[in-house]
Amino acid sequence: MVGLSEGEKHFIRGGIAQDLRADGRRRLQFRSVSVETGVIPQANGSARVRLGATEVIASVKAELGKPSILHPDKGKVSIFVDCSPTAAPMFEGRGSEELSTELSVALQRCLLGGKSGAGAVIDLSSLIVVDGKVCWDLYIDGLVISSDGNLLDALASAIKVALSDTGIPKVNVSLSAATDEEPEVDVSDEEFVQFDTSSVPVIVTLTKVGKDYIVDATSEEESQMSSAVSVSVNRHGKICGLTKRGGAGLDPSVIFDMISVAKHVSQQFLSLLDSEIASAEAAE
Amino acid sequence: MSHARSARGEREELRRHLAVDSDWPRADGRSFHDCRPAFMQTGPTTAASGSAYAEFGKTKVIVSVFGPRESKKAMMYSDTGRLNCNVSYTTFATAIRGQGVDNKEYSAMLHKALEGAVMLHTFPKTTVDVFALVLESGGSDLPIIISCASLALADAGIMMYDLVTSVSVSCFGKNIIIDPTSDEEAWQDGSLMVAYMPSRKEITQLTLTGEWSDGKITNAVELCMDACSKLCDILRERLKDPSSLASE
Amino acid sequence: MAATAMEHDGGGDVVTPGEFLGNSLSLLAGRGAYADGRSVRASVTGHRRLVPPPPGSSDQRSTVEVVGHKAHGAVPQPGSVVIARVTKVMARMASADIMCVDSKAVKEKFTGMIRQQDVRATEIDKVDMYQSYRPGDIIRALVLSLGDARAYYLSTAKNELGVVSARSIAGGTLVPISWTEMQCELTGQIEQRKVAKVE
């Protein structure tokens, strides 16, 4: 996929060891982020995030549905990622299946919290309309348009921005329906309920090359990695999810160190994203 | 109806205890930091190069390893060997009859957990196929699949750096309980799974869900690593068992 | 039963992958073991064996080997002698299914290929594939290299390599009479093959 000569590999590794990467960044520095909201008018919320050359779009759609039997007082959220063939020719057809599944699972783990619902980013009980009968189904879809490394971070930030842009229509339930029948719901077009996204976490992927970690790796740097750890941290400094990617084994002390570095870096990234969201909302 | 409600009431009560008390016997009588008794055996499948069966309480898993052999779908030439993992559930594995399809997420995670341990360069151009079948799902499925798969790989004689064992913990409030059953998993606040190579002291896979603080993660990882080392001793005992050696 | 398993190997104790075998300052890692920094560890399950260093070598460390009771099925390596059955003969190459590697049978066959220039050592451009092999012949060949994604490259360009056993058109066994000819037992007909000189 990424063909690098021995000289280029040596250059990348040596640069990282000396805290000066190929594009001039330091090890713990992100690329320039640009954020746009409302790119898909038909969706309830959408966002487009550019992280260097990596570009992703996230959209949130809400539809009325039935809650599951096991959790009648909660709505449903499903997260799905698709890699478009425009990002890389190998993504055509089934080629991107493995990568898409990996990204979807990692995002679900970070955003949906434990099975009991604790620690979830979106309060599922706020999505319920009529207990046991009608609830909102949230479909969060991510699309990778251009891939230059660090897809997970870009997707997580796009989802965060899309959620802040999302408005769930207010629903009026007609009370005259009998308890056995499907209640009638009236979806209003005017009033919307916004989500509170201040507690949505952001994902920071730390890529280990040699003995050092870098943040926001390009696809060239990713090809040189021995392993990577993606940590999801929210504003309060709590870890909401962690996935280790890459094959090589890691010493436990290295993992703990990576977690603390990720916490530190994520606070900066969070404040950057929050300011971008605020400026996008102000512009509307 | 009333029976279901009383059972649900009991579960709520148990959940409250698990979240609040510092030590309370769980549904099967274990304390918070006890793992289920493990039963593992090599060689149930004679047609395969290596195989293993694991039974941890209600979770039963069988893993077969084929190879190294020529891969049927070899598209690309590769200098090193390839590891192909596949996890599937039987239709009768869960309480509600399932579809019996391959679980792609678990297959990818099994691959990542084993990748770091197998010496791929010793069988270039060929593939080692690992097929895991979950006969009954009683909680903590993936860690048991990983441990059973590494036992099957060792039984097949594939060269490895070390055995990989894996354990998961659930978090309830401020308590951490190890090796959860499926009932406990359904109501957990967070979970952490570690796949560990005890002799080399390396973690090959670590996944975390829910909200955790730093100190809690450290505690949980250390608890897991400890349990993994003990589980690895059990695996080694199984491999050294003279009856399995003399069967050749 | 357990006793015999332990006896035949000189009584080495059983080790499992990842177990510590010794310090790399005093031991070399042989087959079934690997060196990891300062320590030498096992990589398969089996009995541990110490091989003393060959006399006259500069390195006086003995080699530790792990003899696996169930080493994984043979895999063709460059330089190993294999027994294969010819499946297809074409103008410039022949395909064969590798069945044994270094006198150990494989569990599932591997695909090998003999190119025109690898059939014999002399006059390699004048080789006629149909007069060297026929489908169904059992040949002994040498693995040249891992080849491409589909097949290993095999060579029979030595005296002791080539057709070992074959059946004639009439169905009888072929008996070698020279380097290039074999005779059918039943009919006496002579057929052309690249014959192996079996000692």
pLDDT digits (tens, 9 = 90+) for B59-81: 999 999 997 888 766 566 777 88
Neighbours of B206 (CB within 10 A): 23
Domains assigned to chain B? 28-70+79-246 (3.30.230.70)
The number of helix segments (H) and strand segments (E) in chain A equals 5, 12
Q: In what order do the strands lie in the sheet with A202-209?
A: A212-215, A202-209, A227-233, A239-245, B202-212, B190-197, B165-172, B175-178
- DSSP state, A89? G
Of the candidates B185, B208, B222, the beta carbon closest to that of A241 is on: B208
| Cβ atoms of C113 and C153 closer than 8 Å | yes
Q: Indicate if the pLDDT at residue B19 is higher than 70.
A: no
Q: Do C72 and B161 touch (CB under 8 A)?
A: no
User: Do B and A share at least 3 CB pairs under 8 Å?
Assistant: yes
Residue that wins the pLDDT comparison between B13 and C147? C147
Among A66-75, A209-218, B102-111, B161-170, which stretch is predicted with the lowest mean pLDDT?
Answer: A66-75
Q: What is the pLDDT of residue C8?
A: 35
Q: Tell me if B244 sits within 8 A of B40, measured CB to CB.
A: no
**Distance set, CA A227 to CA A54, B112, B222 (Å):** 20, 10, 21
pLDDT of residue C113: 93
- Say if the Cβ atoms of B209 and A255 lie within 8 Å: no
Q: How far apart are CA C4 and CA B247, in angstroms?
A: 11
Looking at the DSSP bridge assignments, the partners of residue B177 are B170
pLDDT of B220 > 50? The answer is yes
Give chains near C: 3+ CB pairs under 8 A. Answer: B
Tally the residues of chain A.
Answer: 284
Query: Searching chain A, which residue's CA lies closest to the CA of residue B209?
Result: A241
Say what the alpha-carbon torsion angle B152, C150, B104, A227 is, to the nearest 10 degrees. 80
Instruction: Give the per-residue pLDDT at A178.
Output: 53
Average pLDDT score over residue span A249-257 = 86
Query: Taking each helix axis from N to C terminus, what angle separates A97-112 and A151-165, rounded to the nearest 10 degrees?
Result: 50
Question: Which residues of chain C from 119 to 148 reach within 8 Å of chain B, CB to CB?
Answer: 146-148
Q: Which fold has domain C2-68?
A: OB fold (Dihydrolipoamide Acetyltransferase, E2P) (2.40.50)
Q: Give me the residue from A98, A109, A260 closest to B207, CB to CB.
A: A109
pLDDT band at B2 (very low <50, low <70, confident <90, very high): low
Assess whether pLDDT exceeds 80 at residue A196.
Answer: no
For residues A86-94, give the mean pLDDT: 76
| Confidence at residue B103, expressed as pLDDT on a 0 to 100 scale | 79
Averaged pLDDT, C56-73: 75
Residues 134-163 of B with CB under 8 A from C: 154-163
- C81-192 CATH, one of 3.30.310.160, 2.40.30.10, 2.40.50.140, 3.30.360.10: 2.40.50.140
pLDDT at A177: 53
Between residues 162 and 201 of chain B, which touch chain C (CB distance below 8 Å)? Answer: 162-163, 197-200
Under an 8 A CB cutoff, do A114 and B112 touch?
A: no
pLDDT at residue C191, as a whole number: 92
Domain boundaries defined on chain C = 2-68, 81-192
Interface contact flag, B208 A112, Cβ < 8 Å: no
> Which of A252 and A94 is assigned the larger pLDDT?
A252
Q: Which residue has the higher pLDDT, A127 or A220?
A: A220
Of the ranges B117-131, C65-79, C125-139, the best mean pLDDT one: C125-139
For residues A236 and B214, the answer to whether their CB atoms sit within 8 Å is: no
Mean pLDDT of chain C, nearest integer? 85
Q: How many residues does chain B have?
A: 248
* Chain centroid to CA A2: 25
Q: pLDDT of A107-152, one tens digit each?
A: 888 777 666 655 566 777 777 777 777 888 889 999 999 888 888 9
B210/A114 touch (CB, cutoff 8 Å), yes or no: yes
Q: Chain C closest CA to B204's CA: distance in Å?
A: 14
Q: Between residues 18 and 77 of chain A, which touch chain B (CB distance below 8 Å)?
A: 70
Q: How confident is the model at residue C3 (pLDDT cuts 50, 70, 90)?
A: very low
Domain boundaries, chain A: 16-283
The DSSP annotation for A233-244 comes to E-TTS-EEEEEE
Q: Which of A46, A32, A279, A43 is CA-nearest to residue A161? A: A46
**Residues with Cβ < 8 Å from B233, sequence gap 6 or more?**
none
Closest residue in C to B79 (Cα) is C146
Contact B209 A105 (CB under 8 A): no
CB distance B163–C17 less than 8 Å? yes
Contact by Cβ (8 Å): C154, C103: no
User: How confident is residue C85, by pLDDT bands cut at 50, 70 and 90?
Assistant: very high
Give the confidence band of C183 by pLDDT, cuts at 50, 70, 90.
very high
Write the residue in C70, C72, C152 that is nearest to B248 by C-beta. Answer: C70
Distances, alpha carbon C63 to alpha carbons A6, A80, A200, B9, C32, in Å: 34, 54, 57, 65, 11
Out of A229, A241, A249, closest to residue B202 by CB: A249
Spell out the residues 6+ positions from residue A123 whose beta carbon is closer than 8 angstroms to its own.
none
> In the prediction, which pLDDT does C53 show?
80
End-to-end alpha carbon distance in chain B? 56
Q: Which residues contact C111 (CB under 8 A, 6 or more apart)?
A: B70, C95, C96, C97, C98, C150, C151, C152
CB of C78 within 8 A of CB of C144? yes
Q: Do chains C and A touch (3 or more CB pairs under 8 A)?
A: no
- State the best of B203, B216, B224 to mutate against chain A, taking most chain A CBs within 10 Å: B203
pLDDT-above-90 percentage for chain A: 6
Chain C contact for B67 (CB, 8 A cutoff): yes
Poorest-confidence range of A90-99, A240-249, B189-198?
A90-99
- DSSP bridge pairs for A80: A141
Q: Say if B and C touch: at least 3 Cβ pairs within 8 Å.
A: yes
Taking residue B244's Cβ as centre, other Cβ atoms within 10 Å add up to 18
pLDDT cut 70: percent of chain B above it = 84
CB B57 within 8 A of CB B139: yes
Kindly indicate the confidence band of residue A21, based on its pLDDT and cuts at 50, 70 and 90. Answer: confident
DSSP code of residue C150:
S
Cα B102 to Cα A106, A197, B105, B140, C63: the distances in Å are 19, 35, 9, 18, 45
Instruction: Confirm or reject CATH 3.30.230.70 for domain A16-283, answering yes or no.
Output: yes
Query: What is the reported pLDDT for C195?
Result: 92
Q: Check CB contact under 8 Å for B200 and C148.
A: no
User: In the prediction, which pLDDT does B152 show?
Assistant: 92
pLDDT at A190: 65
A115 closest CB neighbour out of B115, B116, B188: B188
- What's the pLDDT score for residue B133? 92
> What is the rounded average pLDDT for all residues in chain A?
82
Same fold, C2-68 and C81-192: yes
**CB-CB contact of A259 with B217 (8 Å):** yes
CA distances to B226, C109, C134 from C195, rounded to whole Å, are 62, 23, 12
CA distance A141 to B40: 42
Q: What is the pLDDT of residue A118?
A: 58
